[in-house]
Amino acid sequence: MQLTNRSIQVVKNELTLAERLYFPAIIKGMIITLTHLFKRKATIKYPDQQRELAPVYRGQHVLKRDEAGAERCTACGLCAVACPAEAITMESAERTKGEENLYREEKYAKIYEINMLRCIFCGLCEDACPKEAIFLTDRIVPSSFTRGEEVFGKDKLVEGIDLRVDVTKRQTQEVLNFKTDKKHKHNQTYLDRQK
């Protein structure tokens, strides 16, 4: 049964004199390598030059803060539920008095861990998040010597107050509109429903 028409019929003829002489084949091969000498290089001088990433590139995650510098994440766990690789774990805690500048809402993630070895960088956590808290960025996850170092906690995930991570490529107006539209039930807060 022929599955594809890509199969090549193997011909096992006696070698001709030219083939047995070996030299024509060698010269042919050497001409091929010589042409490669003048070809454009496939590699780049990496630390000096960097290849441009695709606009949809999904790399290391970031946990965003809001404009005032408070963490957006409320530890709802939707990202962990959405994650097909089960890479995300978290533990929530209640915000106490005086922490308003640290956490945007009453509940926050005490522990938030992403196992970078499990993560498949699909971006479903980003889609699931109702609070615009988690985004995948164009940063490359650094390598490490141990497996433990690849479990990223809040120290590595939350962006610094002064070191904001740019996610404008991911957080487009379209996404923002969808996530803030009160028409959708998942965007309504308790107070909205009271009205």
Partner 1 sequence: MTDSMLIYKIILCVIVFAVSLGAAAYMTWGERKLAAWLQDRVGPNRAGPLGLLQPIADGIKMFFKEEMIPTHSNRWLFILGPCFFMLCACMTGVVIPWGAGWQTETTLYPMQVTDINIGLLYLLGVVSIGVYGVMIGGWASNNKYSLLGALRASSQMISYEVAMGLALIALVMMTGTLSLKEIVEQQDAGMANVVYQPLGFIIFLICAFAETNRAPFDLPECESELVGGYHTEYSSMKLGFYLFAEYINMFISSAIMASLYFGGYNFPFQHELGLDGNILTIVQSAFFFGKIFLFIFLFMWVRWTLPRFRYDQLMNLGWKVLLPLAIANIIITGFVMLFTGKLG
* Interface contacts to partner 1, rule CB under 8 A: 26, 29-30, 32-34, 36-37, 39-45
User: 79-111 in b/e burial notation, b at 16+ Cβ within 10 A?
Assistant: bbebbeeebbebeeeebeeeeeeebbbeebbee
Q: Are 62 and 132 in contact (CB under 8 A)?
A: no
**Smallest gap from residue 8 Cβ to partner 1 (A):** 22
For the bound state, the minimum distance from the C-beta of residue 26 to partner 1, rounded and expressed in Å, comes to 7
Cross-strand pairs, 152: 114
How many Cβ atoms from other residues are within 10 Å of residue 153's Cβ?
A: 11
Q: How far is the CB of 21 from partner 1 (least distance, A)?
A: 10
Q: Which of 119, 125, 148 is nearest to 64 (CA)?
A: 125
Closest distance of CB 143 from partner 1, Å:
20
What lies within 8 Å, CB to CB, of 178 at 6+ separation is 184
Q: Is the Cβ of residue 26 or residue 102 nearer to partner 1 in the bound state?
A: 26
**Judged by CB, which is closer to partner 1: 46, or 190?**
46
Q: Residue 16 Cβ, how far from partner 1 at the closest point, in Å?
A: 17
Which CB sits closer to partner 1, 41 or 185?
A: 41
Listed in order, strand segments (DSSP E) in 28-141 are 61-63, 88-94, 107-115, 134-136
